[in-house]
A and B are shown apart, each in its own frame.
Chain A
Amino acid sequence: MVNKWMDEALDLATEALKAGEVPVGCVFIYNGDVIAKGRNTVNETRNATRHAELNCMDQTAEWCMENVHDFATVMSAVQVWVTVEPCIMCASALHSLHVAGVMYGCKNDRFGGHISVLNTALLFPDPSPMVGGLESDRAMQLLKDFYKGTNANAPHPKVKKITT
């Protein structure tokens, strides 16, 4: 099944790949509209925490300022579409904001905060529901394309590259 929001997130991931970033894309949907579109900007910002989801949260905060909405209220109604399972950091941030739901593509074997490395939902009293496996092949292919190339800023990897 093709979903337009996941398509949009995949476009953002492709853009990240072209920019030499880990290809992960994310959109936030509020009342049926896209209010934030993000991708990884780790290399650009020299900040390893600038993942697609956190960039979307910053955009949402700005959107709330402009449209005079309460950030926490908006976030609790946001649906998150992201190409890769959120990492432990992002999943925690999403749970802490009680987002309405998280739909993701492929698993994140190295850092996944839903099922792969640590189930962060267990650390929050009122966690957000997360569902994976949407368009996972396309999301994974982008990651594979990225790891085929080299990330000049990364130290020598100690862990095997992501495999399916």
Chain B
Amino acid sequence: MHSKRRKVESSSHSDTNRHDEQEALGKWQVTPVLDDDVMSDKVMLLDVYVDKVTDPKHTSRLIRDLNALCPIPSLQHLKRVSKLGMILNLAPEEETPEICLQKLKDWGLDTAGLGCEPRRLQVPAVPPRTRRQYEEAMKLWPCNFHENRYLEKVLSGKLFDDTDRLEQQKYMTKCLEAARYSSESGGAGVGALVVDPAKKQIIAIGYDDRGRYHLKHAVMVAIDLVSHSHGGGAWTEEARSRYSHGSPGSSDPVLKTGPYICTGYDVYVTREPCVMCAMAMVHSRVRRVFYGCPSPHGALGTTIKLNTLKCLNHHYEVFAGILESECKNILTTCPKNSVVNF
């Protein structure tokens, strides 16, 4: 009887929890941190010479001849002809329409069917990467577009449903606990968590401890805890004894056959990581990074977007804004003298 009552109580309690969690979902939004090339809907422009087609019977022959005599590899994304006319060639600043036309004649172009009065026109210089860019580009000149469905989903904010967001909120709530611990123990008030999304298993939780050692940023600590769970690690023992918030990975027997470092893992961190931590996550081959609030020294959106540097050999996805205001609040309550610059 007694135990039954307790059961009822606990279930109603979890209903309230669920209600609170749902309500909290409405208070934050995920923002993807993407390459500027993708975010912008401004179309880069390039000058070309365009001529009217006076006799449509010649259109297909002209396209064939122009593509053979004067191919324009940099403008493969554009149709050669539109209702505005036919693209003859690129239009360098110093080149007059007469020179352009003369060159084509010299190369052997039969100009029958053309108006022979080329005019300068601005056309999209690069292939559109998003549907919005495509729509903008189409206003200027017809072009080809291969839609990246995943990217469109990310841009439209439809990548994550409520189940995903509840999970993100759950993990960030755990990060916040670590961040509070950090703030109380002289750190910068930042917490980080590494999770294996395939198994929904938390591998490690780290807290910022830079008051004691300059390099102990939450992300660096969490990465080292992951190494410990794989049978390695450099700092772990000390960090674990001081902060015992469950890290099932690290209490496991030595896991020698783990994935390559953090391959496939997601990292949650309350504050936008600095450039050192952002690069540490590249080296560790993290899959996705979720952070709460931006930071003035942040390298995943604020000062730079390290995740979009094309020459790096690994790229993770970045999403900002998870429980943003809660994350920000911890930072403002954190004692100022403990926050070392960067």
On A, residues with C-beta under 8 Å from B are 41, 44-50, 54-55, 57-58, 61, 71-72, 75, 87-89, 92-93, 96-97, 110-111, 113, 117-118, 120, 123-125, 153-155, 157-159
Specify which chain A residues have a CB less than 8 angstroms from the CB of B262 in the assembled complex.
Answer: 48
Q: Which of B214, B232, B279, B304 contacts A47 (CB 8 A)?
A: B232
Given pairs A46-B232, A111-B282, 11 additional interface contacts (CB within 8 A): A44-B232, A46-B230, A47-B223, A49-B220, A49-B283, A57-B215, A89-B282, A96-B342, A118-B304, A123-B304, A157-B313
Report whether A92 and B313 are in contact in the complex, using a CB–CB cutoff of 8 Å.
no
On B, residues with C-beta under 8 Å from A are 213-215, 220, 223-224, 226-227, 230-235, 258, 260-263, 274-277, 279-280, 282-285, 297, 299, 303-304, 306, 309, 311-313, 340-342
The answer to whether A154 and B260 touch (CB under 8 A), given A44-B232, A49-B284, A97-B214, is yes
CA distance A44 to B230 in the complex (A): 11
Closest 4 CB pairs of A and B: A46-B232, A89-B279, A47-B227, A48-B283
Specify which chain A residues have a CB less than 8 angstroms from the CB of B263 in the assembled complex.
Answer: 155
Q: How far is the CB of A132 from chain B (nearest CB, A)?
A: 18
Specify which chain B residues have a CB less than 8 angstroms from the CB of A157 in the assembled complex.
Answer: 313
Report whether A50 and B279 are in contact in the complex, using a CB–CB cutoff of 8 Å.
no
Report whether B280 and A49 are in contact in the complex, using a CB–CB cutoff of 8 Å.
yes
Report whether A54 and B279 are in contact in the complex, using a CB–CB cutoff of 8 Å.
no
Q: How far is the CB of A159 from chain B (nearest CB, A)?
A: 4
Report whether B276 and A96 are in contact in the complex, using a CB–CB cutoff of 8 Å.
yes
Beta-carbon nearest neighbor of B230 in chain A:
A46
Beta-carbon nearest neighbor of A41 in chain B:
B234
Q: Which among B275, B304, B306, B341 has the highest number of chain A CB atoms within 10 Å? A: B275
Report whether B213 and A61 are in contact in the complex, using a CB–CB cutoff of 8 Å.
yes
Q: How far is the CB of B300 from chain A (nearest CB, A)?
A: 13
Report whether B214 and A72 are in contact in the complex, using a CB–CB cutoff of 8 Å.
yes
CA distance A158 to B285 in the complex (A): 13
The answer to whether A111 and B214 touch (CB under 8 A), given A47-B227, A92-B274, A123-B303, is no
CA distance A124 to B303 in the complex (A): 10
Report whether B275 and A47 are in contact in the complex, using a CB–CB cutoff of 8 Å.
no
Specify which chain B residues have a CB less than 8 angstroms from the CB of A154 in the assembled complex.
Answer: 260
CA distance A54 to B214 in the complex (A): 11
Beta-carbon nearest neighbor of B286 in chain A:
A48
Q: Which of B227, B275, B277 contacts A46 (CB 8 A)?
A: B227
Specify which chain B residues have a CB less than 8 angstroms from the CB of A92 in the assembled complex.
Answer: 274-276, 279, 342
CA distance A45 to B232 in the complex (A): 4
Report whether B215 and A54 are in contact in the complex, using a CB–CB cutoff of 8 Å.
yes
Q: How far is the CB of B296 from chain A (nearest CB, A)?
A: 11
Specify which chain A residues have a CB less than 8 angstroms from the CB of B233 in the assembled complex.
Answer: 45-47
Q: Which of A58, A93, A96 contacts B234 (CB 8 A)?
A: A58
Q: How far is the CB of B148 from chain A (nearest CB, A)?
A: 19
Q: Which of A49, A97, A123 contacts B275 (CB 8 A)?
A: A123
Report whether A46 and B231 are in contact in the complex, using a CB–CB cutoff of 8 Å.
yes
Q: How far is the CB of B159 from chain A (nearest CB, A)?
A: 24
Report whether A124 and B215 are in contact in the complex, using a CB–CB cutoff of 8 Å.
no
CA distance A47 to B258 in the complex (A): 12
Report whether A111 and B261 are in contact in the complex, using a CB–CB cutoff of 8 Å.
no
Specify which chain A residues have a CB less than 8 angstroms from the CB of B299 in the assembled complex.
Answer: 123
CA distance A3 to B309 in the complex (A): 35
